[in-house]
Amino acid sequence: KSEGRGRACIFVPEDEQRTLHRVNIESMIRESLLEGHFELHYQPVVSMGHQMIVGAEALVRLRHPERGLMAPGEFIDIAEETGLIVQLGEWVLEEGLRQLSIWHREHASAIYLSINVSGKQLQDYRFVRTLENLLSRYRIRPGYLILEITESMLMHHTDHTLEVMNRLKRLGCLLSIDDFGTGYSSLSYLQKFPLDILKIDRSFVTDIESNKTHRALVTAIITMSRSLNLRVICEGIETAQQMEILKGMRCQMGQGYHFSKPLPAHQFTTQYLPGSYQ
């Protein structure tokens, strides 16, 4: 008994602290949605052959008046747990498509936009309709939108998720499996879902110079993707050497600090889309 009480003294405050933290972040997310404190940063996706920009991935940030710029690691899990990700995800979609329409129209650019979508959003029956409305409002051809869904989300899919993905596919959007290689999903997943792109997780790229197993795995994934007609993006490329190795493996597209960090919209525009028809 006394031991139990002693343990309770250690665990309860920690538990309370965690709950408090959660509640704080939750109300911060709610408030930020109302006050417009979220913003998107964009990381270029380049073709490995010519190192030309072909697309951008939208990554959400929270610009908090007191705490400064917060990365998704600080709030995305809590948004997910509380279901606020549905509302936040809708904001991300709208803001991303609004920006993409400016790039397409005013900069005569034809880049793709990748947007991260959570499993909760895919379970929401309004998702496809919302997306359809946004695409028509901003006059974007669906083929320029890539929806990224993590491998672990796909592993917890339901029949409904698959149905939504099939509808998104019929709409003409491109579907990408994110963080591939980390979820131990079976290869049958690649045929079960209507996928267009496979994104190899950063953890395989980070040590590609020194890790033979990772080199073999990445080579195998790229070869397999070709025969399944999937395009491949390698993420987390930080050095020229990593880029050369992946290029040698015939990886088509890459992303990472070697090319650029995620940038605020205005900076992305001036750096990557200089031509303006304004």
Q: Which of 39, 106, 196, 238 binds ligand C2E (CB under 6 A)?
A: 238
Cβ-contact 148, 114 below 8 angstroms: yes
| Stretch touching Ca ion by CB under 5 A, among 176-184, 188-196, 238-246, 270-278 | 176-184
CA within 13 Å, CB half, 253: 22
Per-residue binder mask for Ca ion (CB under 5 A), 110-149, x = binder: ------x-------------------------------x-
With CB cut-offs between 5 and 8 Å by kind, which of ligand C2E, Ca ion, none does residue 59 bind? Answer: ligand C2E
Q: How far is the CB of 115 from ligand C2E (least distance, A)?
A: 6
Q: How big is the site for ligand C2E, counted in residues (CB under 6 A)?
A: 23
Q: Report which of 107, 86, 87 is spatially closest to residue 42, judged by C-alpha positions.
A: 107
Q: Which of 73, 159, 227, 277 binds ligand C2E (CB under 6 A)?
A: 73
Q: What are the angstrom distances between the C-alpha of 52 and each of 46, 104, 143, 222, 272?
A: 5, 16, 19, 20, 10
Q: Locate all alpha helices (DSSP H) within the chain, ordered by sequence.
A: 2-35, 76-82, 85-106, 119-123, 127-137, 151-155, 159-171, 188-192, 202-206, 212-227, 240-248, 265-272
The smaller minimum CB distance to ligand C2E, of residues 52 and 69, is found at 69
The pair phi, psi for residue 275, each rounded to 5°, is -65, 120
Q: Which of 44, 70, 179, 205 binds Ca ion (CB under 5 A)?
A: 179
Q: Which of 12, 23, 71, 155 binds ligand C2E (CB under 6 A)?
A: 71
Q: Which of 80, 124, 151, 178 binds Ca ion (CB under 5 A)?
A: 178
How buried is 235 (Cβ within 10 angstroms: 0-12 exposed, 13-18 middle, 19+ buried)?
Answer: buried
- Cα–Cα distance, 25 to 37 (Å, whole number): 13
- Cα–Cα distance, 84 to 189 (Å, whole number): 28
The pair phi, psi for residue 149, each rounded to 5°, is -125, 130
Q: Which of 29, 48, 60, 165 binds ligand C2E (CB under 6 A)?
A: 60
Binding to ligand C2E by residue 110, rule CB under 6 A? no
In three-state secondary structure terms, 120 is helix
Binding to ligand C2E by residue 142, rule CB under 6 A? no
Q: Which of 45, 59, 173, 233 binds ligand C2E (CB under 6 A)?
A: 59
Binding to Ca ion by residue 80, rule CB under 5 A? no
Binding to ligand C2E by residue 183, rule CB under 6 A? no
Tell me which residues touch ligand C2E (CB under 6 A).
Answer: 43, 59-60, 71-73, 76, 85, 89, 92, 116, 118, 178-179, 202, 235-238, 255-257, 262
Tell me which residues touch Ca ion (CB under 5 A).
Answer: 116, 148, 178-179
